């Protein structure tokens, strides 16, 4: 991630920077929202409305100023099945799938808001660094591959002159983006590049794909529309409806929160600031609920547009608000001009996003970090590209947790000492949990040990039920051999854990009522043994 830091200014931003970056983001939101609406099987206007409402609500209420939300591909790929099945439930020609989508977004909003209210956003800290690097690398590749679709026409790759024109305009856009900051750092490079390339195409009458041609190729007519209107989703409110939409709502809520919280963490790192995950969960929920009532397709945080925003100088809430208002302005009043923007200019901006998103430091740390971390980075990157972000992150966290458990299972050690009274001490080091119980048991020599045994947990912790049962098993083995065991230095939480386990396993296996309490008075023990 270090490489990304060098490409992002750590300035606090300004009103001017927020406004210019917001305008740039608004232009970039148009083709993304349109493309994802086609993926989900809904009208481009539904996608644009969704982008507007997600952006404005999260910018005002969210926990991460400068982060941009809108219609996203991660959620669109789930919505497509929801819409198709909804259409089938409504019957031929009913288009009920869209209404089922709006109702589902109401549930998504409730689930996400509850996640924030119950402060579940803090669990993003459980995502390891290796998973985070795999996430940004995979997402950079996904963004890159999505832009390659712009080099196709009706499912086939463009060739000849149209291809070279497209490549030339993309290269020109990227060149302007790299050059402008060298001349004046505070200049909105992305916005200047888009405007410059657009003017070149218009006045030179260059024949190349534009926003309008892209929409028409995908079956749309344009982006002009009125204000979103309030409407209750028109579906039968029955138990069958709830059982149909609830699984989709849970999946969409989880995907939206994971992508939003991961993006929040990334923007935190790039800007050396700290956002509120729980507040962002609530904002995402409110935004999706609003989409369900006002005819938008919903969404979540967008890493590409968020990076466009922060690299263009956007740091405050004003940048997101500007982007949302500008997007609505485009829809209402200036659709004709926005439809003239060449796709190549927007592709060039997104290619710069790819460069700034990818964690180039990955190649530098391959030989410096544990091989398991490298494996997790590669796996999460692959799963993000092959499937989706949620699957990739969940698998990465699970595998990282398993690796952690395995490595810590091997850390359990026992130092063995026989004192002058013939008492054998087992000084335990390392955590005792389900993964280390077998190794813990192997440390004891029940047959050849003396009559009195002390197991000292001063440098260890009893972590779970498996550990409790293993302690019971060890003490029972010694009891059957007619030997006495004393436990020393059990921490208060370990004692509490053991007492809680009395209903599920045998705890007080010795006659000593203080068996599971720290035995700190060695002289008292000696007196008992002599008696």
Ordered by start, the domain boundaries in the chain are: 2-92+99-149+158-222+240-401, 413-530
Global confidence as pTM: 0.75
Q: Is 453 helix (H, G, I), strand (E, B) or coil?
A: strand
pLDDT digits (tens, 9 = 90+) for 339-385: 898 999 988 988 888 888 888 888 988 888 889 999 999 999 999 88
Instruction: Look at residue 308 and tell me whether its pLDDT is greater than 60.
Output: yes
Q: How confident is the model at residue 2 (pLDDT cuts 50, 70, 90)?
A: very low
Compute the average pLDDT of residues 410-426. Answer: 92
State how far the alpha carbon of 444 is from the alpha carbons of 85, 406, 441, 453, 488, in Å.
61, 21, 6, 10, 16
What CATH architecture does domain 413-530 belong to?
A: 2-Layer Sandwich (3.30)
List the one residue out of 32, 113, 97 whose CA is nearest residue 70: 32
List the one residue out of 62, 51, 53, 4 whose CA is nearest residue 28: 51
* pLDDT (0 to 100) of residue 12: 66
**Helical ranges in 41-64 per DSSP H:** 44-61
Q: How confident is the model at residue 227 (pLDDT cuts 50, 70, 90)?
A: very high
């Amino acid at each position: 991630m270090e490489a990304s830091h060098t490409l992002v200014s750590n300035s606090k931003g300004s009103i001017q920077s927020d406004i210019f970056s917001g305008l740039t983001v608004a232009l970039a939101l148009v083709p993304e929202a349109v493309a994802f609406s086609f993926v989900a099987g809904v009208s481009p206007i539904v996608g644009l409305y969704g982008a507007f409402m997600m952006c404005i609500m999260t910018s005002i209420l969210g926990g991460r100023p400068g982060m941009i939300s809108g219609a996203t591909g991660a959620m669109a790929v789930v919505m497509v099945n929801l819409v198709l099945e909804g259409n089938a439930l409504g019957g031929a020609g009913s288009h009920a799938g869209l209404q089922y989508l709006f109702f589902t977004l109401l549930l998504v909003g409730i689930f996400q808001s509850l996640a924030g209210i119950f402060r579940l956003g803090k669990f993003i800290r459980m995502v390891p660094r290796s998973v985070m690097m795999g996430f940004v690398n995979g997402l950079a590749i996904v963004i890159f591959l999505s832009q390659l679709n712009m080099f196709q026409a009706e499912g086939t790759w463009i060739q000849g002159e149209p291809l070279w024109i497209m490549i030339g305009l993309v290269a020109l856009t990227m060149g302007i983006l790299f050059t402008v900051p060298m001349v004046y750092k505070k200049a909105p490079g992305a916005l200047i590049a888009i405007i410059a390339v657009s003017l070149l195409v218009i006045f030179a009458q260059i024949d190349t794909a534009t926003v309008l041609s892209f929409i028409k190729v995908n079956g749309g007519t344009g982006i002009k529309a009125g204000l979103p209107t309030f409407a209750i989703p028109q579906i039968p409110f029955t138990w069958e409806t709830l059982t149909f939409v609830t699984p989709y709502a849970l999946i969409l809520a989880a995907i939206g929160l994971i992508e939003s919280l991961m993006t929040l963490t990334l923007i935190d790192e790039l800007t050396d600031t700290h956002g509120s995950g729980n507040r962002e969960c609530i904002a995402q929920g409110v935004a999706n609920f609003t989409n369900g009532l006002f005819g938008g397709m919903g969404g979540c945080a967008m890493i590409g547009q968020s990076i466009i925003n922060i690299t263009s100088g956007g740091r405050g809430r004003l940048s997101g608000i500007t982007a949302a208002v500008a997007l609505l302005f485009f829809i209402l009043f200036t659709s004709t001009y926005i439809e003239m923007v060449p796709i190549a200019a927007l592709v060039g901006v997104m290619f710069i996003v790819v460069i700034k998103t990818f964690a180039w430091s990955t190649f530098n740390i391959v030989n410096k970090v544990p091989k398991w971390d490298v494996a997790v980075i590669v796996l999460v990157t692959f799963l993000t590209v092959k499937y989706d972000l949620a699957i990739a992150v969940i698998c990465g966290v699970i595998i990282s947790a398993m690796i952690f458990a395995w490595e810590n299972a091997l850390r359990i050690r026992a130092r063995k000492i026989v004192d002058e009274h013939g008492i054998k001490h087992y000084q335990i080091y390392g955590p005792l949990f389900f993964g280390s119980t077998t190794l813990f048991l192997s440390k004891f020599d029940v047959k050849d040990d003396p009559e009195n045994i002390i197991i000292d947990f001063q440098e260890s912790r009893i972590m779970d039920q498996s550990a409790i049962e293993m302690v019971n098993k060890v003490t029972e083995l010694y009891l059957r051999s007619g030997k006495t065991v004393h436990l020393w230095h059990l921490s208060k939480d370990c004692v509490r854990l053991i007492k809680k386990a009395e209903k599920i396993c045998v705890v007080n296996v010795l006659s000593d009522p203080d068996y599971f309490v720290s035995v700190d008075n060695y002289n008292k023990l000696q007196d008992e043994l002599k008696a």
